[in-house]
Structure 1
Amino acid sequence: MSRPDAPAAAQLPLALRYPPDQRFDGFVAAPAGALAQIEALALGHSADWLYLVGAPGSGKTHLALSACAASQAATRRSAYLPLAAAAGRMREALDALHDTPFIALDGLDLVAGRREDEVALFDFHNRARDAGIAVLYTARAAPDALPLVLPDLRSRLSQCPRIALAPLDDGGRRQVLRLRAKRRGLAIDEAAIDWLLRRVDRDLSSLARLLDRLDRASLAEQRRITVPFLRQVLGGETGQGTQ
């Protein structure tokens, strides 16, 4: 992949540090063999590019960031690019990744239909293949279901092995909360987890932000997270009062 004239890295929407919660060992209910496939790609042990597909909340971003963190931990440089943040300047963003061994491109559906961005993705795809760069794509839908305007890009994406992810049920969300609380050294009662799942926005991003907030409050007051503590901290924010 030849080196293009790239702007300063500070101008690009790249993740340089990966959140500690976003690791393979914190992912719940992965399809059989999926984590091994993704990790093999991230570490350079597989040449099969991958396409993760799933509805919002199914864990696509979690796995993309986990793969980047695994690559970096193995001293193999990686880059995570949320494509929505690069919309309108896709070529600039992708050209800056010309010598990165592993790249996760998250959210193809959010730029589908933007012809210039699609052309930049198509050109990048071909250059990266020739250069031996490993790429992980994510999207809410399969290539055939995306509103792409460039048939050649759809064809290239369709050649990637696909991993389908499903949103977590309440049991899965409960397990994620336990795992993330344990990683923080945070004591949380099972009744408190049940209470949260009945009363707050249950998408994983919202739950993660709420857990950060509760962690700070628990540390400040030196209290474990119980239902009375949740009522005190959240007050009337939960939409169902303090039942």
Structure 2
Amino acid sequence: MVAQDRAGPQLPLALRHSPDQRFEGWVGAPAVLAQLQATAAGESSDSLYLQGGSGSGKTHLLLAACAAAEAAGRHANYLSLARVRGHARDALQGIEQAGLVALDDLDALAGNRDDEIALFDLHNRVRDAGVALAYAARALPGALPLQLPDLRSRLAHCTLLALRALDDAGRAQVLRQRAASRGLQFDEAALEWLLTRCSRDLSDLAALFERLDHAALAAQRRLTVPFLRQVLGA
């Protein structure tokens, strides 16, 4: 399983992304999870379009699908399109030689005609090869500022999976799961303190939790309100 990236060497996803970004760590709509699981397992060849705002779990699901596909013996390619704006044709060359292609940050290419043509060509190659394809974007296909009508049409025919940001109960569940997977004790009062004083964006919370995890491991401490105050400041 390879994360395609022109900015550096190609490395297995397992070496580049947190093991928390797996289906087992997903908290959200079960229907969306079921669709991604079927795609990762090769049971569905539908092209998918994950749409949701920041922190809704789009990248988590794409990486989880790639990990599950690899576990099932199917090669998977993940690529953030934000990293290849302006040179998408080179970056997308040959990426369809996999069982699953996952393209994140689709919004980043919208408006660049050359990149859009490269993506349109890739979409056709992927579908002709019978390869599973999953996009992720903040905006719906019709709201993207695309210059290429044919690309908009292809995206509009994908199966739409709309994601919504988690509420505080969902965010707390994510943090509990991550703590449990590391053998950490996360006091409920500490969870409440964290969620009421820090960013509610899930990606921000995930980065913050990694900081707390390292600090707790070094200090051999539970995640309590006094410890959070010590690490993060009042």
TM-score over 0.5 (shorter chain): yes
Amino acid at match of 2:22: R
C-alpha contact (below 8 Å) 1:12/1:93 kept by paired residues: no
Amino acid at match of 1:221: A
Partner of residue 35 from structure 2, selected from 32, 37, 47: 37
Distance across 2 between alignment mates of 1:127 and 1:169: 39
Distance across 1 between alignment mates of 2:73 and 2:96: 18
SS at match of 1:35: helix
2:143 is matched with which residue? Answer: 145
Amino acid at match of 1:166: R
2:184 is matched with which residue? Answer: 186
The alpha carbon displacement at 1:10 in A equals: 6.4
Partner of residue 64 from structure 1, selected from 62, 65, 84: 62
2:25 is matched with which residue? Answer: 26
What do the CA deviations read for 1:40-91 (whole angstroms, capped 9, x no partner)?
A: 1122111111111111111111101110110111121111100000111111
1:16 is matched with which residue? Answer: 12
* Range 87-96 or range 152-161, more displaced: 87-96
C-alpha contact (below 8 Å) 2:5/2:83 kept by paired residues: no
C-alpha contact (below 8 Å) 2:28/2:166 kept by paired residues: yes
- How many residue pairs match? The answer is 227
The alpha carbon displacement at 1:12 in A equals: 5.4
SS at match of 2:12: coil
1:127 is matched with which residue? Answer: 125
Distance across 1 between alignment mates of 2:129 and 2:139: 27
1:54 is matched with which residue? Answer: 52
The sequence identity of aligned pairs, in percent, is 59
Higher-Rg structure is 1
Amino acid at match of 1:180: R
Over the residues paired in the alignment, what is the CA RMSD in angstroms? 1.5
| Residues 1:22 and 1:66: Cα distance change in structure 2 (over 3 Å) | same
C-alpha contact (below 8 Å) 2:40/2:100 kept by paired residues: yes
The alpha carbon displacement at 1:15 in A equals: 6.5
Instruction: Specify every segment of 5 or more residues in structure 1 that has no aligned partner in the other structure, as ranges.
Output: 1-8, 236-241
C-alpha contact (below 8 Å) 1:53/1:165 kept by paired residues: yes
- Please report the TM-score for the alignment, with normalisation by the length of structure 1: 0.89
C-alpha contact (below 8 Å) 2:5/2:79 kept by paired residues: no
What do the CA deviations read for 1:11-63 (whole angstroms, capped 9, x no partner)?
A: 35766324211111211122x42211111112211111111111111111110
Matches for 1:53-202 after TM superposition, within 5 Å: 53-202=51-200
- Please report the TM-score for the alignment, with normalisation by the length of structure 2: 0.93
Amino acid at match of 2:224: T
Distance across 1 between alignment mates of 2:70 and 2:102: 12
Distance across 1 between alignment mates of 2:47 and 2:94: 20
The alpha carbon displacement at 1:98 in A equals: 3.5
What do the CA deviations read for 1:65-124 (whole angstroms, capped 9, x no partner)?
A: 110110111121111100000111111111131411111001111111111100000000
C-alpha contact (below 8 Å) 2:5/2:91 kept by paired residues: no
SS at match of 1:109: helix
Instruction: Specify every segment of 5 or more residues in structure 2 that has no aligned partner in the other structure, as ranges.
Output: none
* Range 117-126 or range 32-41, more displaced: 32-41
1:6 is matched with which residue? Answer: none
Amino acid at match of 2:91: A
The alpha carbon displacement at 1:174 in A equals: 0.7
Distance across 1 between alignment mates of 2:164 and 2:184: 28
* Range 214-223 or range 11-20, more displaced: 11-20
C-alpha contact (below 8 Å) 1:15/1:80 kept by paired residues: no
Instruction: Please state if 1:222 is matched with 2:220.
Output: yes
